[in-house]
Amino acid sequence: MAAELELGFELNGTAVRCGAEPHWTLLRVLRDGIGQTDVKYGCGEGVCGACTVLLDGTAVSSCLLFAPQVAGRRVETVAGLGSPEEMHPLQREFVERGGVQCGFCTPGMVLGGLEAVALDLCGSPEEIRHSLSGNICRCTGYRGIVESVAAYASLPPTDRG
């Protein structure tokens, strides 16, 4: 079955094209159309944040966007931030401070944290917690996550990757 849409956008710095149906969400385009499986499905309601991506630099729930809305835009996922050999500084904080258990919330949480720091919404642990309230973690109790974001936010801007 030929797809109705031929979609082009930038994904983690590379131009991609893929077929999609207009009713597909960006989440589905990324996971099933392109195989970008580091973006997670957790609810499809815009509640859990597992599907978070950066769209032109802004954190969005990819389960709430439809395929046509991303044409020509810039999408970043956690896999584009760093690799196991060369982690992004925020990824390193998550690993070292117990911000990761099952890891299913982690891609969305890292991107949410990154945006919170970029928007300077990390002045205190309370502010960080509010900034991350769109991302659910069922495993950690959040302490390790909040500390990771705080540690990253305290880095000089030149060291933030």
Partner 1 sequence: MSVVEQPALRVVGRELVRHDAVEKVTGRTRYAADVEQPRRLHAALRRSDVAHGRLRRVDVTPALAVPGVVGAYTAADVPNNVLWAPVPGQLPGTGAERSRANMLAEDVVRFDGEPIALVAAETEDAAAAGVEAVVVEIDPLPVLDDPLRSLDEDVPVLHEGGNLLASWEFEEGDVDAALVGAAAVVDRTHRCQAVDHAYLETEAGTAWIDADGVVVVRASTQVVEHHRTLARFLGVEDNRVRVIAPYVGGGFGGKEDLTVEPYLAFVAHRTRRPVRMTWSRQESLRARAKRHPAVMHYVTAADAGGRLVAQDIDLVLDGGAYAQLSAAVLLWSAMSSMGPYRCANVRVRARVVYTNNTPSSAMRGFGAQQVAFAYENQMDALAAALGIDPLALRRRNFIEAGDTLATGQVIPTHVALPELTAAVEERLGELPQPSGPARKVGRGYACNLQSYGFNVWMGDWSSAWVGLEADGGLTIRIGVPDIGAGQASSLVQIAAEVVGVEPERIVIHIGDSTLTPLTGRTSSSRQLYMSGNAVLEAAERLADDLRGVAAMVLEVDADAVELAAGEARAGEDALPLAAAYAACIARSVPVQQLATFHAPTGPRWEARPDWRGRIVPDFAYSCHGVEVEVDTETGRVQILRYVAAHDVGRAINPQSVRGQIEGGATMGIGQALYERVVFEDARNVTRKLANYLVPTAVEAPEIETIVLESGEGLGPFHSRGVGEPPVSPPAPAIAAALRDATGATFTATPFAPERVLATLAAHGVGR
- Residues engaged in binding ligand FES (CB under 6 A): 41-44, 46-51, 61, 63, 100-106, 137-140
Instruction: Please say which residue, 71 or 102, places its beta carbon nearer to ligand FES.
Output: 102
43 makes contact with partner 1 (CB under 8 A) = yes
CB 30 within 8 A of CB 22: no
User: What's the min distance (Å) between Cβ of 51 and partner 1?
Assistant: 11
Q: How far apart are CA 40 and CA 30, in angstroms?
A: 10
Minimum distance of partner 1 from residue 122's CB (angstroms) = 12
Bridge-based pairing state of the strands 74-76 and 5-11: parallel
Element (H, E) at 113: helix 106-118
Q: Quick check: helix, strand or coil at residue 102?
A: coil
- C-beta of 104: minimal distance to partner 1 in Å? 3
Which of 84, 124, 156, 157 contacts partner 1 by CB under 8 A? 84
Q: Which residues in the 10-29 window bind partner 1 by CB under 8 A?
A: 21
Instruction: Extract the tokens encoding 73.
Output: 């835009």
- 139 binding partner 1? (CB under 8 A): yes
Of 112-131, which residues contact partner 1 (CB under 8 A)? 125, 128-130
Phi, psi of 108 (to 5 degrees): -70, -40
